[in-house]
């Protein structure tokens, strides 16, 4: 509540309530934690809840909620072992969050036929970017958002603009969009782990949890739009089941030196050898990739003294990778969030 993380004692109360209610019903980790979150939301009297539906959409535990409105930001290839490598199939899974007659907002510029068909079948009131709401460059290269009579200037934001536009559209459709102060509020939006700039031990860090080709493309554009006077070094650790070539290739032109690392104790993580093979397949020259492959923690400590204040250290590849660095910063202090 009020920007504070939930207290351990409240989590315990939620778990106890679920344990009593479930009886003989077995629950997965994700089902248990989702129910705990919803129990805590209800107890706190939450008026508006923005719920992210995880893997695929249709079969995720969060999808038990019949939401007032559904948003699909994009349909991209990810979690191929579970969802397949076809956008149509993945789109069908994502469309599982739609509800009959409820509004649906789509920020994908090229929605799959499976998404379109699901919306039509459910008679959803659908709103598509480029058709029902739009983002366009105006005078002075300002980015303008339009939805009906609503027009806003989108300030520089590190998050994907289409997703921001979808969020504004959703608030407008639900009649909860404030009458003023939207643009100033947008300027303050930041999401930890998404193009998150941090200064630590006198060095510039950029933390990004991106772990698929679509996220890598967004990250590459951000890096190109925000150059540094020195070099950009990348400390990367990723899961073995990811499209490593697709993850590395978009960044090849904006990263000067690569430092693959391993996530100690994580059975899903790619080995250093696998990361090096992925970099080579993505066209990264062997001379630009450090073959030592330490752990993320050791790699961070080794790199910081070797880069200058004019350089940038990009940490990316997985939620686990960024989480490990953030935890180290919390433990040792001296970190400053810059935006």
Q: Is 338 a member of any domain?
A: no
Q: Residue 169 domain-assigned? A: yes
Number of domains in the chain: 3
322: domain CATH number is 3.90.190.20
pTM of the model: 0.84
> How far is it, in rounded angstroms, from Cα 112 to Cα 163?
17
Per the DSSP assignment, residues forming a β-bridge with 207 are 196, 315
Q: Are residues 98 and 1 in the same domain?
A: no
SS3 22: helix
Q: Please write down the HEC assignment for all residues of 106-135.
A: ECCCCCCHHHHHHHHHCCCCEEEECCCEEE
Q: Is 220 found in the same domain as 260?
A: yes
User: Residues 57, 168: one domain?
Assistant: yes
Do 138 and 228 lie in one domain? The reply is no
Domain that holds residue 62: 48-187
Burial grade of 317 (CB within 10 A; 0-12, 13-18, 19 or more): buried
Query: Residue 15: exposed, middle, or buried by beta-carbon count in 10 A (0-12, 13-18, 19+)?
Result: middle
Pair 297, 285 in one domain: yes
Q: Please, which residues have CB within 8 angstroms of residue 165's CB and are 6 or more apart in sequence?
A: 107, 129, 133, 134, 135, 145, 154
- Does the residue 339 lie in any domain? no
Please tell me whether residues 17 and 125 are part of one structural domain: no
Q: What does each of the 339 residues of the chain score in pLDDT, given as a tens digit?
A: 677 889 999 999 999 999 999 999 999 999 999 999 999 999 999 999 999 998 778 999 999 999 999 999 998 766 666 667 789 999 999 999 999 999 999 999 999 999 999 999 999 999 999 999 999 976 667 899 999 999 999 998 888 999 999 999 999 999 999 888 898 999 888 888 999 999 999 999 999 999 999 899 999 999 999 999 999 999 999 999 999 999 999 999 999 999 999 999 999 999 999 999 999 999 999 999 999 999 999 999 999 999 999 999 999 999 999 999 999 998 887 555 554
Angle at 170 between CA 164 and CA 171, to 5 degrees: 95
Backbone dihedral angles phi then psi of residue 314, each to the nearest 5 degrees: -90, 125
At residue 179, the pLDDT reads 82
Predicted pLDDT at 191: 87
Domain boundary among 151, 168, 187: 187
Same domain, 171 and 66: yes
Q: Is residue 286 part of a domain?
A: yes
**What are the backbone dihedrals phi and psi of residue 261, each rounded to the nearest 5 degrees, phi first?**
-140, 165
75 and 181 housed in the same domain = yes
One domain, residues 170 and 39: no
Question: 142, 170, 187 — which closes off a domain?
Answer: 187
- What is the pLDDT, as a whole number, of residue 77? 66
- Whichever domain contains 166, its CATH number is 3.40.1190.10
* pLDDT at res. 3: 75
Sign of torsion, CA 305 195 110 240?
Answer: positive
Residue 99 lies in a domain: yes
127 and 209 fall within a common domain: no
Query: Of 30, 45, 60, which marks where a domain is finished?
Result: 45
Residues in the chain: 339
Helices (H), 55-181: 80-83, 87-94, 113-121, 161-173
Residue 312 counted as domain residue: yes
Clarify whether residues 170 and 262 are in a common domain.
no
Q: Is residue 212 part of a domain?
A: yes
Nearest to 69 by CA among 172, 162, 161, 174: 174
Residue 337 lies in a domain: no
Residues 153 and 242 in one domain: no
- Residue 127 in tokens: 């709103």
């Amino acid at each position: 509540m009020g920007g504070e993380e939930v207290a351990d004692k409240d989590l315990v109360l939620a778990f106890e309530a679920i344990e009593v209610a479930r009886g003989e019903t077995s629950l997965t980790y994700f089902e248990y934690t989702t129910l705990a979150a919803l129990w805590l939301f209800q107890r706190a009297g939450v008026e508006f809840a923005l719920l992210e539906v995880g893997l695929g959409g249709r079969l995720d535990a969060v999808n038990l909620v019949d939401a007032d409105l559904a948003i699909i930001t994009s349909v991209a290839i990810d979690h191929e072992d579970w969802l397949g490598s076809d956008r149509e199939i993945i789109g069908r899974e994502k469309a599982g969050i739609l509800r009959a007659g409820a509004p649906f907002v789509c920020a994908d510029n090229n929605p799959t036929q499976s998404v379109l068909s699901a919306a039509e079948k459910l008679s959803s009131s659908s709103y598509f970017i480029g058709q029902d709401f739009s983002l366009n460059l105006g005078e002075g290269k300002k980015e303008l958002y339009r939805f009906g009579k609503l027009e806003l200037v989108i300030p520089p934001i590190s998050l994907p603009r289409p997703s921001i536009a979808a969020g504004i559209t959703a608030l407008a459709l639900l009649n909860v969009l404030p009458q003023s102060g939207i643009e100033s509020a947008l300027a303050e939006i930041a999401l930890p782990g998404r193009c998150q700039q941090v200064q630590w031990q006198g060095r510039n860090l950029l933390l990004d949890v991106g772990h698929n080709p679509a996220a890598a493309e967004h990250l590459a554009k951000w890096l190109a739009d925000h150059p540094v006077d020195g070099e950009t070094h990348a400390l990367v650790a990723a899961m073995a089941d990811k499209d490593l070539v697709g993850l590395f290739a978009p960044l090849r032109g904006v990263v000067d030196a690569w430092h693959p690392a391993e996530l100690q104790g994580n059975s899903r993580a790619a080995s250093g050898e696998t990361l090096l093979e992925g970099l080579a397949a993505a066209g990264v020259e062997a001379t630009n990739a450090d073959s030592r492959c330490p752990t993320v923690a050791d790699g961070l400590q080794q790199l910081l003294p070797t880069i200058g204040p004019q350089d940038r250290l990009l940490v990316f590849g997985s939620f686990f990778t960024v989480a490990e660095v953030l935890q180290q910063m919390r433990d040792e202090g001296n970190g400053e969030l810059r935006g």
